[in-house]
Amino acid sequence: MIELTCILCPKGCRLRVDENDGYKVIGNACPRGADYGREEALDPKRTITSTVRILFEKQSTGTGGAN
């Protein structure tokens, strides 16, 4: 079961796509949502990006006194 949020309208329907049942879509409020869910399950087009904060301590680079 694949879980998605539809982005075709402001409702943001929570979709579930059952790949074991012919990619049946559950949770859509309109036919466009069903089409979107099926397409995203079969051939995802959305790219998800994120950032990760990395915490570290300053360490010497060993440049032999050069500033």
d(CA 53, CA 22): 40
* Backbone phi, psi, residue 36, to 5°: -60, -45
Cα separations in angstroms, 33 against 5, 21, 48, 54: 9, 17, 20, 38
- 52 alpha carbon, distance to own chain's centre: 16
Tell me the pLDDT of the chain (67 aa) as tens digits.
999 999 999 999 999 999 999 999 999 999 999 999 999 999 988 777 788 888 877 777 776 655 5
At 28-41, the pLDDT tens digits run 999 999 999 999 99
DSSP state of 16: E
What's the predicted TM-score (pTM) here? 0.63
